[in-house]
Amino acid sequence: MTGLPAPLTLDAIHPHLATRVIGTTLLLHDEVDSTNRVLADLAQQGAHDGTVVVAESQTAGRGRLGRTWLSPRGLNLYVSILLARALPSETVSWTPMLAAVAVLRAIRTLTTLDVRLKWPNDVLAIRSGVGRKLAGILVDGVGTGQASGRAMVVGIGINVNMPVAAFPKELRATATSLLIETESPVDRGRLLATLLGELERLYDHACAHGPGDIAAAYQAACDTIGKPVRIELLGSEKIEGTAEGLASDGALRLRTKNEKVLEIRAGDVVHLR
Ligand code: BTN
């Protein structure tokens, strides 16, 4: 690829797409406020399982913990997928991790990068022993418009062809893109189609067999487990300890300095080495 990265078009996605359900309806927008918001509205109007919304840019991209997600035009992937099948109940809390494993596998398919996960669902590129964030996941529970119907909107942002100069200075030490890491542009259509394929495989498996294999794949790829960490909880509380492992619902088990084991379900993790 030379010059500017190609625009994302259906023609650039479909030749690579080999899914059965996810992406059967794939809506590609030039600009939206947030693909998660657009898809939540469509779910309310009866959109079917596996509907996908993609945008070239977002004016109000949302991140975890009320943050914004930087969404410049034409460089990255901003995608939301509707998961509307009834999952085994113990699987629901693993959905963000399932999506993180799908992103990791898609990136590993297209690149040779050392990609790992930071609890709960940040995707990191490891370079010279340092992890920088490549992708993030935001899962919203949504109504489906049918009595008591619930579904999940899985929102995924991947920094694909974003050069260093497009990141605000304060993010440059902690965030990165596939372009920065691989030193060449990545085909966003192929990456999206590969991601949807990996997601469908894991989703089908979780629907049929529950979360066991997904939990195992997640733990194998998780860079947090075994590390000394600081957890920044909602509000301003911070706790330090060692990330020991995961509870059966995916919560992070943290052993504090005074040997208490806490189960953390929301918060931001900082790896201390
Ligand atoms: C995070 O904070 O790490 C989660 C970021 C999730 C960003 C994606 S981009 C597509 C989808 N639409 C949004 O508004 N957010 C998610």
| pLDDT the model gives residue 142 | 92
Q: Would residue 86 count as lying in a domain?
A: yes
**96 lies in the same domain as 210:** yes
Last residue of a domain, one of 221, 247, 263: 221
Residues enclosing ligand 1, CB less than 6 A? Answer: 34-36, 58, 61-64, 67, 69, 78-80, 122, 136-138, 155-157
**217 lies in the same domain as 232:** no
Mean pLDDT of 240-262: 94
> Which residue of 29, 38, 42, 69 sits with most ligand 1 atoms within 8 Å of its CB, as the best mutation to test the pocket?
69
Q: How far is the CA of 171 from the centre of ligand 1 (A)?
A: 16
Mean pLDDT of 254-261: 93
**68 lies in the same domain as 137:** yes
Q: Would residue 103 count as lying in a domain?
A: yes
**75 lies in the same domain as 30:** yes
Number of domains in the chain: 2
pLDDT in tens, 26-55: 999 999 999 999 999 999 999 999 999 999
Task: Compute CA 11 distance to the chain's CA centroid, rounded to the nearest angstrom.
Answer: 24
**210 lies in the same domain as 262:** no
Give the nearest ligand 1 atom to 79 CA: 10
Residue recorded with tokens 């497009």: 166
* pLDDT band with cut points at 50, 70 and 90 for residue 15: very high
* pLDDT band with cut points at 50, 70 and 90 for residue 1: very low
Task: Compute CA 99 distance to the chain's CA centroid, rounded to the nearest angstrom.
Answer: 6
pLDDT in tens, 134-165: 999 999 999 887 766 789 999 999 999 999 99
What phi and psi, each to the nearest 5 degrees, are found at residue 89?
-55, -35
**46 lies in the same domain as 91:** yes
Q: Which two tokens stand for residue 156?
A: 């995924």
pLDDT in tens, 98-135: 999 999 999 999 999 999 999 999 999 999 999 999 99
CATH code of the domain containing 68: 3.30.930.10
Task: Compute CA 97 distance to the chain's CA centroid, rounded to the nearest angstrom.
Answer: 8
Give the nearest ligand 1 atom to 136 CA: 3
CA 3 to each of CA 6, 57, 192: distance values in angstroms, whole numbers, following the listed order:
9, 20, 21
What phi and psi, each to the nearest 5 degrees, are found at residue 102?
-65, -45
| pLDDT the model gives residue 273 | 82
**150 lies in the same domain as 238:** no
For residue 138, what are the domain limits?
Answer: 10-221
Mean pLDDT of 69-97: 94
Decide: 43 and 50 in contact? Cβ < 8 Å. Answer: no
Q: How far is the CA of 71 from the centre of ligand 1 (A)?
A: 9
| pLDDT the model gives residue 202 | 97
Give the nearest ligand 1 atom to 65 CA: 2
Mean pLDDT of 178-191: 97
Indicate the range of 3-12, 69-78, 97-106, 227-236 predicted with least confidence.
3-12
Question: Does 78 have pLDDT greater than 80?
Answer: yes
Question: Does 65 have pLDDT greater than 90?
Answer: no
| pLDDT the model gives residue 110 | 97
Q: Would residue 5 count as lying in a domain?
A: no
Mean of the per-residue pLDDT values of the chain:
94
| pLDDT the model gives residue 148 | 65
Give me the amino acid identity at 229: V
Decide: 38 and 53 in contact? Cβ < 8 Å. Answer: yes
Q: CA-CA distance, 202 to 135, in Å (whole number)?
A: 18
Q: CA-CA distance, 154 to 139, in Å (whole number)?
A: 5
**136 lies in the same domain as 110:** yes
**185 lies in the same domain as 265:** no
| pLDDT the model gives residue 149 | 78
Share of the chain above pLDDT 70, in %: 98
**169 lies in the same domain as 244:** no
**115 lies in the same domain as 131:** yes
